[in-house]
Amino acid sequence: MGNIILTGDRPTGKLHLGHLVGSLRERVKLQDLGNYDEMYIEIADAQATTDNFGNIQKVKDNIIEVALDYLSCGIDPNKCTIFLQSEVPELSDLTFYYMNLVTVARLQRNPTVKQEIIYRDFNNTIPVGFMTYPISQAADITAFDANIIPVGDDQLPMIEQTREIVRSFNRLYGDTLVEPKAVLPQNEACHRLPGTDGQAKMSKSIGNCIYISDSREEVKKKVMSMYTDPNHIKIEDPGKTEGNPVFIYLEAFAEEKHFLEYFKNKETGEVEYKNLDELKAHYERGGLGDMKVKKFLFYVLDTTLEPIREKRKELENNIPEVYQILFDGSDKARKKAQDTLKKVKKAIGLDYRNDQELIQSTIEKYRNNNRQSEN
Ligand code: ATP
Ligand code: MG
């Protein structure tokens, strides 16, 4: 079996820096390496309805935003199939059969779902659809026989749930589904990028994000008001870099070239900080102010985002083409999902039209019954 890559995003907002480092950059890297047979990217609009059923407009509006973000970050529709989840109804059928393989208690134990319920203030009003979304993710993955899933670490419990479903299914109905593996970014700072407010995860639903498509001014404003070490009050105070989002963003984005360009003294040619370790060391011993670090972070982010913004502007003038990419991708994805659903229903034994054995044995059963009653 070859390599089949699948990832996705919920169209609940524009994509943010967490997506860029947690998953998007990995996808582009894998895409450009070319070491795969098929690559699918799902815009999970159906899943997004599970916590936005009262505001479908939000989901609808964000489909194009997510697609624009993909394309401007370098996802190539000639190499990947980008599709809309709701355009592939076979995914719901698969979800339905997988639901029998998961207990309610198992869903309730999922740490990501637990956390998301708190973020969303669901309390005792958790929609069944929301509770079961890890099962629908298993459908999304297995429908395409995907074995490589590049994700941020909040998705690990979902991949684990999928693996369990695959194992249960194959045990019950024979070897049919492929067990996937999560692939995390190499750089640990990218596994779960914190929010600008210092919360553990930058997330669309919390609103603590720097968006990939934010303007230069917006990025500047957000960086300058970012949470840092609350005890680092005066410049001379020793500061903490651990858990400090400004430094975590630098871990995720700053490259050697940024240090060499930004901190080079034009006259002497001397470089004030050659790498992040030097910058961190100064902050930790005191004498380095938040403003100076934030200005550098802004420079790094701006340098990274500027080419993406440019590309996005071009794409924004070609909206019909972008929608067409999604529709063509959805048609292609649907064909594959239809094949998997057929395979799954056959394995379960729900393949009546092609089940000659069933029809034959029923004929014989009634023939025998009637013969006996005649005698
Ligand atoms: P929502 O709040 O609507 O759930 P989200 O910001 O969590 O949105 P998703 O669409 O759920 O984004 O996630 C898409 C992908 O991006 C997943 O692979 C997820 O792991 C990754 N991801 C999301 N946020 C981060 C983050 N802060 N750091 C690293 N990866 C992230
Ligand atoms: Mg999420």
Averaged confidence pLDDT in the chain: 96
CB-CB contact of 36 with 1 (8 Å):
no
pTM: 0.94
Work out the pLDDT band at 360, boundaries 50, 70, 90: very high
Q: How far is the CA of 203 from the centre of ligand 1 (A)?
A: 6
What number does the ligand 1 atom closest to the CA of 195 have? 27
- Overall fold of domain 216-315: Tyrosyl-Transfer RNA Synthetase (1.10.240)
Write out the DSSP string of 229-279. -TT--STTS----TT-HHHHHHHHH--HHHHHHHTB-TTT--BS--SHHHH
- Give the pLDDT confidence of 155-202 residue by residue, as tens digits: 999 999 999 999 999 999 999 999 999 999 999 999 999 999 999 899
Structure tokens at 180: 């996937």
Ligand 1 within 6 A of 51 CB? no
Q: What is the mean pLDDT of residues 270-286?
A: 97
Ligand 1 within 6 A of 25 CB? no
CB-CB contact of 302 with 262 (8 Å):
no
Sheet holding 4-9, edge to edge: 81-84, 38-43, 4-9, 148-150, 181-183
The total of other beta-carbon atoms located within 10 Å of residue 33's CB is: 8
Amino acid in the structure at residue 257: K
Which one of 23, 42, 115, 205 would you pick to mutate in the ligand 1 pocket, going by the greatest count of ligand atoms within 8 A of its CB?
23
Token pair 């229903």 is found at 345
Q: Where are the domains of the chain?
A: 4-193+319-354, 216-315
Ligand 1 within 6 A of 9 CB? yes
- Overall fold of domain 4-193+319-354: Rossmann fold (3.40.50)
- Give the pLDDT confidence of 12-22 residue by residue, as tens digits: 999 999 999 99
Which one of 137, 156, 203, 205 would you pick to mutate in the ligand 1 pocket, going by the greatest count of ligand atoms within 8 A of its CB?
203
Ligand 1 within 6 A of 10 CB? yes
What number does the ligand 1 atom closest to the CA of 12 have? 3
